[in-house]
Homo-oligomer: A and B are copies of this chain.
């Protein structure tokens, strides 16, 4: 199977319309129809059920859509990493959620910089859910992820720290002087929970504000427009105006360092060793 065929199929499978898919691919519709037919012949499997009005995925097509995305990402990642390996200014790109695990990140950076033979370590802070694709397609080399929030699927990981969670309240809030709160009490406050982006970048429907990273949400808490439960380490991020109250029965959050399998360069191995040893 060629990547061209796979890309064509992915476009059709996503659009469920040959015309639109062809436009997206920058080709005409007939060659696209033929390419898909040929792919089906070669695989010996029907991927799409076409009527003269619509296109739908078969069982096999759904599988190929899911697996194909991973395969194309792997091919892209291979190309991107090969290109990057040729650059003389070798560097490692680490992605983390803006505002999460700040001290841990600082410790990792300091610890790695102190290693002999350390190369430049570029830190990219991005929104929730943006790390995984970057790591998958080779734009980043390593990420700090948080279980159980982030999907660790397909990455190699090493556990770093485990923290309990706190609820953030505006300074004057009646509950803000409590020593701890339960999840039930938090829910009873009847403030909207923020909505985090889903895997595909869209937001689930609901009342809460749409947010992309932990940093963003602090403002909303100050304004009393949202309530949020976050890992304990956000304490270091909050200034005046916001109070953190422990929520003992919230799930524990584990910060992990994650990297793509099969890509353990010398520099990456060092970074992982440093991070795991902290």
Residue pair B67, A262 in contact (C-beta under 8 Å): yes
Which residues of B sit under 8 angstroms from A47, Cβ to Cβ?
Answer: 82
User: Is there contact, CB below 8 Å, between B83 and A60?
Assistant: yes
Q: Which B residues are in CB contact (< 8 Å) with A71?
A: 71, 74-75, 77-78
Residue total for A at the interface (Cβ-Cβ under 8 A)? 42
CB-CB under 8 A from A1, the residues of chain B are: 3, 75-76, 78-79
- Contact B45–A60 (Cβ < 8 Å): no
Identify which of B46, B59, B156 contacts A154 (C-beta below 8 A): B156
**A43 is an interface residue with CB less than 8 A from chain B:** yes
Contacts of A4 in B (CB 8 A): 2
A58 touches B86 (CB 8 A): yes
A83 touches B262 (CB 8 A): no
CB distance from A144 to the nearest CB of B (A): 19
> In whole angstroms, what is the CA distance A62 to B75 when docked?
15
CB atoms of A45 and B86 under 8 A apart: yes
- A70 an interface residue at 8 Å Cβ cutoff? yes
Interface SS of chain A: helix
A83 touching B153, Cβ below 8 Å: no
Known: A2-B3, A262-B153, A262-B154. A67 touches B60 (CB 8 A): no
With A63-B82, A70-B262, A261-B70 known as contacts, the answer to whether A75 contacts B3 (CB < 8 A) is: yes
How far, in angstroms, from A75 to B3 measured CA to CA in the complex? 8
Q: Are B75 and A75 in contact (CB under 8 A)?
A: yes
A69 within 8 A of B: yes
CB distance from A16 to the nearest CB of B (A): 17
Contact indicator A67/B61 (Cβ below 8 Å)? no
Let me know if B44 and A60 touch, CB within 8 A.
Answer: no
On chain B, the residues within 8 Å of A265 by CB distance are: 63
Min C-beta distance of A43 to chain B, whole Å: 6
Most B CB contacts (10 A, CB to CB) among A69, A74, A77 go to A74
Q: How far is the CB of A159 from the nearest CB of chain B, in Å?
A: 13
| Residue contact A261 to B154, C-beta cutoff 8 Å | yes
Contact B46 A86 (CB under 8 A): yes
Q: Tell me whether A23 is interfacial, beta carbon within 8 Å.
A: no
Minimum-distance CB pairs A-B, first 8:
A154-B261, A67-B78, A64-B82, A60-B86, A71-B74, A63-B85, A45-B86, A74-B74
Starting from the known contacts A43-B83, A45-B86, 19 additional A-B residue pairs (CB-CB under 8 Å) come to: A1-B75, A1-B78, A2-B2, A2-B3, A3-B3, A6-B75, A45-B85, A46-B86, A63-B78, A63-B82, A63-B85, A64-B78, A66-B263, A67-B74, A67-B81, A67-B263, A71-B71, A152-B156, A153-B262
